[in-house]
Structure 1
Amino acid sequence: MEVLTLKNIEKDTLLIVEMLKEEKYQEINDMLTGKRPYDLASLFQSIPDKHRAAMLEHLDEAVIASMITRFNHMNQLELLGKVGPVRANKILSLLDTDVLSSLLRHFPKTDLDRFLSEMNEEKARYLQEMISYPPNTAGSMMTDRYLSVHLHDTVAEAVEKAKVHAVYSETLFLIYVLDETGKLAGTVSYRDLVIAEGNEIIENIMFRQVLSVSPNTKKTEIHRLLQKYDFSAIPVADAENRLLGVIAFDDMMQLVIQETNEDIGKLAAVDKEIDFDTKPAIAAKRRLPWLIILLFIGLVSGNIISAFEETLEQAVALAFFMPLIAGMTGNTGTQSLAVVVRGLSEQDIDGKTIIKLILRECKVSLLIGLVCGGMIFLIAFIWQGNMYLGIVVGSSLFLTLILGTLAGTIVPLILDKFNFDPAVASGPLITTVNDIFSLSCTFPSRLSS
């Protein structure tokens, strides 16, 4: 299969535009059929706007369904609105249940009810169940496209079932074993089926220790499980251990990527839904709340400086070191914040671990403070020839590095304790708070005294 490079995209885009002008719509469909969803989305977005309507009008529903999986919800709804309700329903019916349920959450209730009423009753009921679970939980991510066999099936019967449903399933590598009541009893790999005797009973070759999650399990917990275990898929079962669905491998990888992107965005106080395609007004609206909060917190720093205006007039050299102290404090706080947020995402932290972590960070901050404080003392003394200035600057940096490190450690722990996402203790927030610490410590006494 051809790898779609930037050069190939430009080449294919020009070719598609020429075909559109010549109304060679079937040739366009033949060209696009079989391409990867990401490549299809890239090609469609590279087509000039004035040609997109004609392209959508004549594209096969299967091509559009494949392409739409790579768009965000806003673009998905916009595209479905352009193709009309009849074709939109055909496209939606071709989507996997996990993709479809995520999209249907953004539908108006009347449109959702109309779409579900036109579907197969069993599939509609399954989708309604998925939508009923909170977003970003296992129940909202699972799919019903998995293979299952019964305890008392023979290997030959299981192999035949796998052959029949192979195209349908997303998890051919692992087959789930159910008892007579539909409860999850174990798993068997396709490799084990191939090497076993045809008349062997599945119960005799299956793996019994199966780890499953409840439909209300949050994605952060699923992320932790992925770090601990080598899963190719995660089964989702109810309180009575009845198999409800499976989170497939590609969805788990997407979860890891999404979690990472969200944490990076939160650490920078940037909304997770902002990307390259987000309109300027929307991006500004989503980023402003945090910045406005930080703006008012930052005013505290200005009040501290104004309170020591007289001190600065007598020791102008002190102003040279204020940005350095503030910057160093913010840096060490952000470092500690990253360590804690990463630790919280990887494991459950108890009281003993918290105390151990805080004590460790205290020792780290003392060492960092002594080294950096000593260095800045020597620099200030040699540069300005003022011993007292060196002591003030060095001791200020020493104290603020300790405070900054502890702030970066304790703030996310407190947020986690109160069930807030610790990643919202973002770098900008920690930096702003640490600015206040640094300025407070930079003026330990008035030089005029």
Structure 2
Amino acid sequence: MRFRVRPRQLARSLRELARREPQQVQDYLAANPQEWDRIAERDPYDAADVLEALPPETAAGLLGQLDAASAAEIVEEMQPASAAKRLLEMGPAQGGPMLEAMDADEVADVLHELDPEVRQPYLAALDGVMRRDVERFISYGPDTAGGMMRTDVAALSADLTTAQATKELKAMSETFDDLSYVYVVNADQQLQGVLSFREMVFASDDTSLARVMIRDPVTVGPEADREEVAELIQRFHLFAIPVVDSGQRLMGIVTVEEALEAIQHEAGEDMAVAVGAGSEESTYTGPATSIRMRLPWIVVNLFLATVVSFTIRALEGEIAQNVVLASLMPIVALLGGNGGAQALAVTIRAMAINQVPSQRIREVVVREFQIGLSMGVIIGLMSSAVAFLASAGNSRVAIAMGIAVFVNLAVGALAGAGIPIVLRRAGFDPALASNIFLTFFTDVLGFAGFLVVAAMLL
């Protein structure tokens, strides 16, 4: 079998097929190796998708068929965890030249997925300069400005004239893909400002760059958290932000694309930890590791669910006397849980982008509680009507239902806003399994609260 299509169309067809039938793609590329060469040359992005869908050993073999530069382009488009597995299959001897052809920050992202002892042979395969750069990136961590930055920065000396700078920029255009920002540094590589192209165009040829640059640009240190970097880029509408050391020496830049990727990664982490999955878990994480990350929180969930169960059992007499209550309890718990989850999502997202400083905690909690109260009134009245019909016109059941829904929505919203704030105060990740604790509160109120109110009225 051989597809008679253009390389890009072939790559996309194989990518889609690889997700469903990886063995067919594996067999096709083994029988038609020249097609793999065409895909790798024309479309590294789709080639990366194909490799991620194939078994690591097969993908490593396909990478090994390419020259180091072509393989490097593809690996840079892969997820770091996926690329690391393929690199392990290649080994240091075959993978070293490929890593050497990659950008240092990209190599660090891949090697960071490996245990330190496994990582060493691959670092040893790099030349001295590259190895130092990669080790520096790894030391900062992938969630910091130092770990996210790229070091190929367009910079000019402050002593240059505008005429000299124009010649330098023409030469830079052959090396740099993006010249949106050109930074101005002194002889010690300390950041002085950002070049203003408008001012440079209208200045005389002998004007120094120091006179046409924009001084005091927004900067971050290499240890700055990705959330801080993303917030600054968003606040000041930047395409990139320079990273400087303690001596204000220019180290690199974090682009808006890298910041966006960091925000997406942060959102994914928050979603994962909110439900008790590991923040570092992905679809490439081994089953044993995933089980180890998730199991503790499922055990916690079991314990809390047991408490809810015993609470219901203590009030089973009320259920026996009024069987209709059993059919209405899940509604109360579900409504409170959903209302609390909305407050939880808004609060965690706000905390992720630093919109909840200590002075705004009261404002945020009160706002969510007010919303919960309002929702409680509206949904409580609607729930009363449902309970009235379900209980064949029993007004006391309807009143109990309305009160229970009102209280559960209000308290659920309060808990949804308060749990991540309390976790942060305690030194934990604000999203750390917060959904598990929220469910406990709303279930106890939904089940026990409803039965207690019903017992008082019936």
> What residue is the counterpart of 2:13 in the other structure?
7
- Tell me the equivalent position of 2:110: 103
* Corresponding position of 1:148: 155
**Equivalent AA in structure 2 for residue 432 of structure 1:** F
Query: 1:130-180, CA deviations, whole angstroms, 9 ceiling, x for partnerless residues?
Result: 222244111112221111111011234334334444454464221111112
The percent identity for this pair of structures is 27
Q: CA deviation at 1:339?
A: 1.5
Partner letter of residue 330 of structure 2?
Answer: P
1:382–1:39 distance in 2 versus 1, CA, 3 Å: closer
Residues 18 and 386 of structure 1, relative CA distance in 2, 3 Å threshold: closer
How many residues end up aligned between the 2 structures?
446
Describe the superposition over 1:371-398 as per-residue Cα deviations: whole angstroms up to 9, x where unpaired: 2222222332344222222222221112
The answer to whether the aligner puts 1:286 opposite 2:296 as a matched pair is no
Pair 1:354 & 2:361 matched: yes
Over 3 Å counting, the alpha-carbon distance change for 1:90 and 1:354 in structure 2 is same
**Structure 2 CA distance, aligned partners of 1:69 and 1:43?**
14
Aligned to 1:223: 230
Of 424, 429, 453, 1:421 maps to 429
Q: Tell me the residue number matched to 1:63.
A: 70
Identify the match of residue 447 of structure 2 among 435, 439, 442. Answer: 439
SS in 2 for 1:214: coil
Shift of 1:399: 1.4
Q: Counterparts of 2:339 and 2:447 in 1: how far apart (Å)?
A: 16
2:31 counterpart residue number: 21
Match of 1:125 among 132, 135, 144: 132
- Mapped contact 1:334–1:427 kept (Cα < 8 A): yes
TM-aligned CA distance change 1:45 to 1:336, over 3 Å: closer
In the other structure, the counterpart of 1:87 is: 94
3-state DSSP of counterpart to 2:43: coil
Instruction: Give distance in 1, aligned partners of 2:439 and 2:410.
Output: 14
The 1:358/1:51 distance shift into structure 2, 3 A limit, reads: closer
Q: CA deviation digits over 1:306-336, x for unaligned, max 9?
A: 1011111111111111000000010110011
Match in the other structure for 1:270: 277
**In the aligned structure 2, how far is the partner of 1:350 from the partner of 1:47?**
46
**Residues 11-410 of structure 1: pairs in structure 2 closer than 5 A:** 20-21=30-31, 24=34, 28-36=36-44, 38-45=45-52, 52=59, 54-107=61-114, 109=116, 112-113=119-120, 115-116=122-123, 119-166=126-173, 168-169=175-176, 171-188=178-195, 198-278=205-285, 280-384=287-391, 385-410=393-418
Question: Does the CA contact (< 8 Å) of 2:272 and 2:279 recur in 1?
Answer: yes
- TM-score scaled by structure 1? 0.87
Residues in 2 aligned to 1:31 and 1:197: alpha-carbon distance in whole angstroms: 50
Change (3 A) 1:331 1:350: same
Q: Identify the range of structure 1 (378-387 vs 165-174) with the bigger mean alpha-carbon deviation.
A: 165-174
Cα RMSD (Å) of the superposition? 3.2
Flag structure 2 segments of 5+ consecutive residues without an equivalent. Answer: 1-5
How many angstroms does 1:216 deviate by?
0.8
Instruction: Name the SS of the counterpart of 1:423 in structure 2.
Output: coil
Cα distance in structure 2, aligned partners of 1:405 and 1:105: 39
Deviations 1:217-238 (A, max 9, x none): 1112122223312111111112
Of stretches 399-408 and 156-165 in structure 1, the one that deviates more from structure 2 is 156-165
| CA 1:195–1:101: 2 relative to 1, 3 Å | farther
Separation (CA, whole Å) in 1 of partners of 2:397 and 2:116: 68
Moved more, 71-80 or 254-263: 71-80
Consecutive unaligned residues in structure 1, runs of 5 or more? none
Q: Which amino acid aligns with 1:208?
A: R
Does the CA contact (< 8 Å) of 1:266 and 1:423 recur in 2? yes
TM-score, normalised to structure 2, is 0.86
Alpha-carbon separation, structure 1, partners of 2:25 and 2:375: 60
d(CA) in 2 for partners of 1:150, 1:10: 49
Between 90-99 and 194-203, report the one with greater CA deviation: 194-203
